[in-house]
Amino acid sequence: MSLHPLAAAYGAVVGARNTLYDRRWLRARPLHGPVISVGNVSAGGSGKTPFVILLGELLKKRGVAFDVLSRGYGRETRGVLQVDPGGLAREFGDEPLLIARRLQTPVVVAEDRYAAGQLAEAKYGARIHLLDDGFQHRGLARDFDIVLVTPEDARDRLLPAGRLRESLQALRRADAVVLMSGAEAKSFPVANKMLWRVRRGIVPEKVPPRPILFCGIARPQSFLLQLRSAGIVPVAEAFFRDHHAYTEKDIRDLLDLRQRSDGHGFVTTEKDAVNLGQYFEALAPLAVVPVKMELADADNAVDTMLRLIEERRQRS
């Protein structure tokens, strides 16, 4: 398969930047506390946010103090901000807001994740930092790199011809590779890497009969298939672009769709519930379906990660 000209140019730029960091001509800045990065090699839809929440819950079980650092994609604000769980998606970004609400731990957003970490350490000390969507953010040094891969990644192409942010060879930088949605290790260059396997599903509760499905996520068809597998068959669907900020017109259109399709209510994702903001009650009855994620052999995986981090910091 010949490489798309723009994808070839994009790959050359990304490769050159990675080489500068690999050869230490560009330096990653370290924080005082350990940094655990959770990222991927593709643009959107691999489950990073649910995995950050899962990892946070596993750390909380152990009584390990941590915060989360994020870019805050889609927010209308600038600079370094701590997320207010009672705030709005346009202030902090939908995914950081969801993480803050689910984990009840400090979440700091900034274009520069090092600056986010500095604010977190100034307020809370040198605890563990979970770096959300951090695999390509190489300006911040990390102690452990977790990368999620999906079956689609194995056959995808570089941006803009496909969804890959960088070549699959970048997985060589990872410490642990998380095989999502049935991804197989043989499809990726993961020799000598820790391989973690995750089961991902949904927890539909109190879904109204004859529901209208709407969502603004990277892979809406996956959510639709999960609903159908759970025996929930929407009478109509409305899909929006990822991170969509809902407007009054959207709400009118959805209510009109419900009337035209003789629907009895709505069903959507947690991220969309965050993005609805003040319009949430206007769509009642509305079922919000959370994602449930389980890490196989979680205790061993987390114990190994924490041990390696401690050993590396002792050597540095």
CATH number for 246: 3.40.50
Does 238 share its domain with 305? no
CATH number at residue 92: 3.40.50.300
242 with 262, same domain: the answer is: yes
pTM of the model: 0.93
Does one domain contain both 228 and 160? no
What pLDDT is recorded for position 3? Answer: 60
Q: What is the pLDDT of residue 1?
A: 46
Same domain, 257 and 188: no
Domain carrying residue 40: 5-199+294-315
C-alpha 114/C-alpha 94 separation (Å) is: 21
> Domain check: are 129 and 253 in the same one?
no
Predicted pLDDT at 137: 93
Instruction: Give mean pLDDT in consecutive 10-residue pieces for the chain, a chain of 316 residues.
Output: 73 89 92 97 86 97 97 94 96 97 97 97 97 95 97 93 94 96 94 94 94 95 94 97 96 98 97 96 97 94 97 90
Residue whose tokens read 């994620």 = 293
| Contact assessment for residue 74 and residue 94, using Cβ atoms and an 8 Å cutoff | yes
> What pLDDT sits at residue 286?
98
Whether residue 214 sits in one domain with residue 303:
no
The Cβ of residue 268 has, within 10 Å, a number of other Cβ atoms equal to 26
Q: What share of the chain is helix, strand, coil (3-state, %, to 5)?
A: 40, 20, 40
Q: What is the pLDDT of residue 46?
A: 77
Backbone angles phi, psi at 272, to 5 degrees: -70, -35
What's residue 7's pLDDT?
83
* Tally of structural domains, the chain: 2
Contact between 126 and 66 (Cβ < 8 Å): no
Judged by DSSP in three states, 157 sits in: coil
- Statement to judge: residues 208 and 311 lie in one domain: no
265, 245: one domain? yes
Sheet of strand 236-239: strand arrangement: 236-239, 211-215, 265-269, 286-289
Note the pLDDT of residue 151. 93
Check whether residue 223 and residue 106 sit in a common domain: no
